[in-house]
Chain A
Amino acid sequence: DGGITQSPKYLFRKEGQNVTLSCEQNLNHDAMYWYRQDPGQGLRLIYYSQIVNDFQKGDIAEGYSVSREKKESFPLTVTSAQKNPTAFYLCASIDRDRGYGYTFGSGTRLTVV
C-alpha cells in the first residue's frame, strides 16, 4: 500500500545535538511538507518542497533544515539552534493531480533532554 513512512516513532536526544527525522513516501507525490504539532497550537508549517531540489521556509523554519534530493524523501534536521525542539513532528505529501488530497505520516515524537 502507498503511504508516508516516518521513522523513528519516538526519538530521544541530548540538548545540543542535531537530529534528523526521516520521511519517505511511495505515492509519487511532488510536494512534501513538515509540520510541528504542539498542544493548543495546532500544526505549524516548518518547511515545504514542491519539487525535487527546491524547498521553502514555512512559518517556523528557524532552527530547522531540510533537503529534497529525491522525490520520495524529505528529511528534516532539528539543529541545536532550535530553542524548543521537543514536539510531535508530522510529514505530509500532496497529489496535486487528484484534488489536492494531503496524506499524513504517523509522526515522530522527539524529546530533547
Chain B
Amino acid sequence: AQSVSQHNHHVILSEAASLELGCNYSYGGTVNLFWYVQYPGQHLQLLLKYFSGDPLVKGIKGFEAEFIKSKFSFNLRKPSVQWSDTAEYFCAVQLGGKLIFGQGTELSVKP
C-alpha cells in the first residue's frame, strides 16, 4: 500500500538551530508532494509544494524542501528556527485523486 513516513515524531530544538524533518514515500510513479504546518489551535497551512522542475523548493517563512527521486524523499529544512516555528508538520503525497499524509512531526523550539 502507498504510504508516507515521517521519521521523527517529536523534535526539540533551541532557537537558531537548523532543522531538517525527514519524509519518505512508497510509490514509484509521478507524485505531487506537499508540506503542511499546523500551529497550535489553527488550520492546516501549506508551507510548500513540489509538482515538477527544480527539486529544491522554497516555501513560506524561510522553509525549503528537496525532492530526491532516487531516495523517494522530500525532506523539509530551515537554516535557523524561531520560537514561532513551534507547530506540527505534515508531509503529504498526492496520488491521483487522494492526498495521503504522514504521521506528523511535532516541533518544539525553546527560546
B45 to chain A: closest CB distance in Å? 8
Contacts of B49 in A (CB 8 A): 99-101
Q: Are B101 and A35 in contact (CB under 8 A)?
A: yes
- Is B17 an interface residue when CB atoms closer than 8 A count as contact? no
Q: Are A40 and B97 in contact (CB under 8 A)?
A: no
Q: Please, which residues of chain A bring their CB within 8 A of the CB of B90?
A: 42-43
Whether A90 contacts B44 in the complex (CB less than 8 A), given A40-B9, A44-B101, comes out as yes
Main secondary structure of the interface of B (DSSP, over half): strand
Residues 78-113 (chain A) with a chain B CB within 8 angstroms: 90, 92, 94, 99-102, 104-107
With a CB–CB cut-off of 8 A, which chain A residues contact B97? 31, 48, 50, 56
Q: Looking across the interface, which residue of chain B has its beta carbon closest to that of A39?
A: B104
Contact yes or no, A101 B101, CB < 8 A: no
- Give A33 to B98 CA distance when docked, in angstroms: 9
Task: Name B43's contact: one of A45, A99, A101, A106 (CB within 8 Å).
Answer: A106
Number of interface residues of A (CB under 8 A): 25
Taking A43-B90, A100-B51 as contacts, is the C-beta distance between A92 and B99 under 8 angstroms? yes
> Please, which residues of chain A bring their CB within 8 A of the CB of B32?
100
| B103 at interface by CB-CB < 8 Å | yes
* Inter-chain contacts of A42 with B (CB < 8 A): 4, 6, 90, 101-104
Q: Of all chain B residues, which has the CB nearest A4?
A: B43
Complex-state Cα separation, A43 to B37, whole angstroms:
12
Alpha-carbon gap, A41 to B5, bound state (A): 10
In the complex, the answer to whether A102 meets B103 with C-beta atoms within 8 Å is no
Judged by a CB distance under 8 angstroms, whether B100 is at the interface is yes
**With A100-B32, A100-B51 in contact, do A58 and B43 touch (Cβ < 8 Å)?**
no
Give B57-95 as 1s and 0s: 1 = Cβ < 8 Å from A's Cβ atoms: 000000000000000000000000000000000101010
Residues of A within 8 A of B101 (CB): 35, 42-44
Could you say which residues of chain B place their CB within 8 Å of the CB of A107? 43
Please list 5 pairs of residues, one from A and one from B, whose beta carbons are closer than 8 Å in the complex, sorted by A's number: A42-B4, A42-B90, A42-B103, A45-B98, A100-B49
Nearest 8 pairs of A and B residues by beta carbon? A43-B101, A42-B103, A104-B44, A42-B101, A42-B104, A50-B97, A104-B43, A42-B102
